[in-house]
Structure 1
């Protein structure tokens, strides 16, 4: 199977190409830079793997949660590349949850099988979800992801916290639990892809969407004014 995978949901850009049994990887700066560097880096990595867009079987991307700008960038690029692949016939897009990819990265790096995956959501909050590795070689995936303050994260005994949130919040985040650094890497996306594609998770390019857990990051002018008027007047 020939797959292209990438993630721009964090401050790290991650790209991987699978050509048969071999995998090529690239990492770089994410965030705002990803929109300018993602496509050139993809072209370079495909060239290293000896692949063209017309030879791809699917395009895989980290759909979120994560950076709003990063998620929109990844989704738009995945859609465009999938539309144009195979001489314009197109290939499926596989949107993968970034927290699931964090759990998979923790399993591959550290052997973790009970993982509370976390990502820094900024604004003094974290994205979090529990994942448990099953005997059939797949992750048990929860229906709902959480957006909560670091202090509110509950971790069951015997579970490991993985992700990048500990680096941001330190002892505020589950201080009694073991922690492992992990990211939604493109290599993790590739490992997850075969089972997800076999389960029918691939979609047409125009049906691929980011997954936002936080609906809003800023108030409108009217909302700010309403909040100002509702606030108690300062005492003199």
Structure 2
């Protein structure tokens, strides 16, 4: 028994043609985008799918025996001194990442963080922080910590880091030994750790508080009247003179 077609051959042909055109127009861009996304940034070779990229050979044994030594397949003829040509320092690596991937996520976007770090570094320079002079970061692990560190890398300010778990004598010793004049800290650590030993660090001139700093700091020694208290986000010279009242 043969079934009778309800649609005319012409309408059926038009339907099949429309489906074929739609499939072609939607499939071709997806293939092109997939092909472009498989470009390996390191060696410029396209490997196909993500699975192929994961399974590709990344290192090989130089003498051909299992015990090695092994070298990256893209650098078998010479040793690599840098991850990228012309990128030899931490600040250049951050600048390269911000310029190449400005809209990738990084405490906002990399472009945002790069701009904030650059402005903060310029602000530190205007406050008298000089190249190759130590600067301290005494703060909990937080977004402001890495922004401050990148700002220092950009302007060649050696970073002295102090653990937030240190006691007062150890903090005073570290700051005096490294001869810092500028320090990043949080309001909590300032109150619980630094407040008691600030009088023992005579070289300290500028305290950058990563939290919103109030207009006065009651209970601090009068000898700190010449110290500048600067909110982190301003990053410039318009700080606040200490007020103990």
Decide: shared fold, TM above 0.5: no
* Larger relative contact order, structure 1 or 2 (CA cutoff 8 Å, min sep 6): 1
Structure holding more strand per residue: 1
TM-score range, shorter chain: under 0.3
Q: TM-score, normalised by structure 2?
A: 0.24
Q: Larger Cα Rg: Structure 1 or Structure 2?
A: 2
